[in-house]
Structure 1
């Protein structure tokens, strides 16, 4: 198994092939990913969170949920993207939380994830966003996303 520093170095590249990296590193690397998300470094933590979602093992949802609590919007965006890779119950919990994020970009990415998760409560939240979100752009995207979710 690679060391924490080796994983950090691997994630500190400009372009990553996440599926290939997930296959190469496997679930054994999840403790390192958890550490990297906890370090809250905005260049590495989002990549660690997204990779955890792609690995999709038992502890993946804990790492993605941890990333959803980050003070950095880029980490929360990665958590929203990774949520779509998790099992439905965990995915719905993370996406549902991030649909109410203060940052419009996070809400938009969470909305895209919610559209891929078969959970009625998320559709209801997206509908509410289409009517009440304070950002007109987000409201418009929520309206079209809600229509797709209903189909």
Structure 2
């Protein structure tokens, strides 16, 4: 069981993961710097079988990277803004063009196209209100096609993203 492939034969775009795979993913979400030896102990696999599973999860694109959680406010002046945007034109080409613009902006740390009264929700990290005002004016410039924007200044983050729930909550 330990060293067998994770995916069953069939649809590799939606692989079937077993309980060990899910445990590996949960452990890596909690601590991406865990050693393979410690990880293998936590999931009850040999180190070589554990490494093979992690590498396969990476190859399949299930593990897409490893990141450090940074206390940004301890590194630089920080104003976190959530912005909800409505675009004038909803053609796919326009959405893609707007995505490309947003992807060039380092202050935009999350981009979500959403269903509902808004087209996008953005999470931005700015130095201060002046920087936010300047960026907001740029967002609202005619060439970006933003019809309406509602912004929210984050005053506290009691819970931040630390990983996805991976098991069905039924």
TM-score for the superposition, normalised by structure 2: 0.28
- Compare the two structures and name the one with the higher strand fraction: 2
Q: Over alpha carbons, which structure has the higher Rg? A: 2
Higher relative contact order (CA 8 A, sep 6+): 2
